[in-house]
Structure 1
Amino acid sequence: MMEKPKWSYWSIAVMGLIWSLMGCLNFIMQTDADFVAQLPDRYHDLVMQRPVWATASFAVAVFGGAVGCILLLLRRAVAVQVLGLALVGALATFVYGVMALGLASEAILSTGVSGVVAAILLWLSVASRTRGWLR
């Protein structure tokens, strides 16, 4: 019989899912030209000039994070690989932010926090697999 995860596992997985779903909503909103047109010039330019690789990494980060958290909630071991990919996407998104804006920007703070959250979720998935909580 499989050991059951502690309450902290469920809490982190649910908070990670909420965070990732907010990122998915942000990504979807950035595909709406009317929404992007209302952004401050700096962010408008950032979205409009973003290269394909940066847009793809943003999508991998947020949608991978959401799918990975759902897999955690379903206690599936494949969450490790999906959340690993999400972390790569988050790091690539951070790199683009630094390249486009430099280090002195609130956009860097948000992408940096996203990278930290992605790393925590990956850690949780690896630790959970090790503990036998995932199948």
Structure 2
Amino acid sequence: MNDIKPHFSFWVVAALGLFWNLMGCLNYVTQANPEAVAQMPPVYQAIINGRPDWATAGFAIGVFGGAVGCILLLLRKRVALPVFILSGAGVLLMGVFTLSIVGVVPSIALSILVAIALLWYASIVRRFGWLS
């Protein structure tokens, strides 16, 4: 492992990113459960049940990729950066679908911003030599 010690903020950002993405994973698993979807308001049911496979794949890649990327960040692995690129692509796919159906909503805008921020942060800490 690298001898350069990361700043305390590195651990905070990586942990918060992991928490954010684990919440996204929980959201994905909930939406994959037909019983849970049946209890949601009709508008949500229509959106979830009408979502194309490519958007569902983007959702899964975005949240699970983001969680794996944050775990790799916490482990200080350089491979976190390409994982965040993949995760960001997934989030953008899901964003395209969401924008086409319901327009701009705060949750997808925030998801895109967090994905971009984690990718940007991983590139910075990689240049600092905090990742091996």
TM-score, length-normalised on structure 2? 0.96
Query: After TM superposition, where is structure 1 displaced by more than 2 Å over at least 4 residues in a row?
Result: none
Point out where structure 2 has 5 or more consecutive residues left out of the alignment: none
Identity %: 47
- Report Cα offsets for 1:41-85 as digits up to 9, x if no partner: 111111000000000000000000000000000000000000111
Question: How far apart in 2 are the matches of 1:44 and 1:62?
Answer: 20
Point out where structure 1 has 5 or more consecutive residues left out of the alignment: none
User: Could you tell me which residue of structure 1 aligns to residue 10 of structure 2?
Assistant: 9
Question: How far apart in 2 are the matches of 1:109 and 1:45?
Answer: 19
Query: In terms of mean alpha carbon deviation, does 1-10 or 123-132 score higher?
Result: 1-10
**Per-residue deviation, 1:2:** 2.5
- Report Cα offsets for 1:8-63 as digits up to 9, x if no partner: 11100000000000000000011111110111111111100000000000000000
- Report Cα offsets for 1:75-125 as digits up to 9, x if no partner: 00000000111111111111110111123xxxx211110111111111111
Q: How many residues are aligned here? A: 131
> How do 1:1-135 and structure 2 match up within 5 A?
2-103=3-104, 108-135=105-132
Supply the AA of the counterpart residue of 1:133.
W
